[in-house]
Homo-oligomer: A and B are copies of this chain.
Amino acid sequence: MAAAPVPAPSRRAELLRIAADLFAERGYKTTTVRDIADAAGILSGSLYHHFDSKESMVDEILSTFQAGLFAEYDAVIASEDDVRTKLERLVHISFAAIDRDRPAVAIFQNDAGALAADDRFAYLRENNERFQTMWSDLINEGIRTGALRDDLDPVLTYRFIRDTVWVAVGWYRPGGPLGATEVAEQYLAILLDGLGARAS
């Protein structure tokens, strides 16, 4: 047999997970390296055996997360599905990402804006633009083909979808009464058909 394909998480990976939880809960700037070390049961200086800096920790968390997310998005966009199906799949992917990688999503939501000003995090700006282009192209195609209503501002529609999906990281918890799939379905129900009762 070959070596186990899923080795026990390395100490380094464990420390990164601890850091991500704290960054997500308290914010990147307000979490200190001493907070991270305390949570890991070591002293702050020992962290620098594993990582160059606090900044390189958050960099690794965000870049790893975004690489995985975009790989999933690209597969949907490249598919032959119609607009509505693509939109539904993108929303499901996003809620699954919140479920699987909540800390990374929260850090992205809360701290990416401040980090993106630094050259080191230029990829955050680039990915943001890529994300907006992807969604806007899809929305515009939906309006053109009649899948989406045509009396709304497309830019506002984009922001509405983007915000409603990601802001759920603020309250969604993996063990809660509704799973990521159910939440995605109900969100899509509101997003596509609205809260108002149907005229019968």
Size of A's binding interface in residues, CB under 8 A = 40
Bound-state Cα–Cα, A183 to B27, Å: 30
Stretch at the interface among A11-19, A45-53, A121-129, A153-161: A153-161
Closest chain-B Cβ to A110's Cβ sits at a distance in Å of 7
Is A171 touching B195 in the complex (CB atoms < 8 A)? no
Q: Is residue A37 within 8 Å, beta carbon to beta carbon, of the partner chain?
A: no
Contacts of A189 in B (CB 8 A): 151-152
Copies of this chain present: 2
Is A147 touching B197 in the complex (CB atoms < 8 A)? yes
Contacts of A196 in B (CB 8 A): 84, 147-149, 192-193
Is B186 touching A153 in the complex (CB atoms < 8 A)? yes
Contacts of A29 in B (CB 8 A): 27, 29-30
Knowing A27-B27, A164-B164, A178-B156 touch, does A193 contact B190 (C-beta < 8 A)? no
Binding site for B on A (CB under 8 A): 26-27, 29-30, 84, 110, 114, 146-153, 156-157, 159-161, 163-164, 167-168, 170-171, 178, 183, 186-187, 189-198
Q: List 22 A-B contacts (CB under 8 A).
A: A27-B29, A27-B30, A29-B30, A146-B197, A147-B196, A148-B195, A148-B196, A149-B196, A149-B197, A150-B197, A153-B186, A157-B190, A157-B195, A159-B168, A160-B164, A160-B187, A163-B163, A191-B195, A192-B195, A193-B193, A193-B194, A193-B196
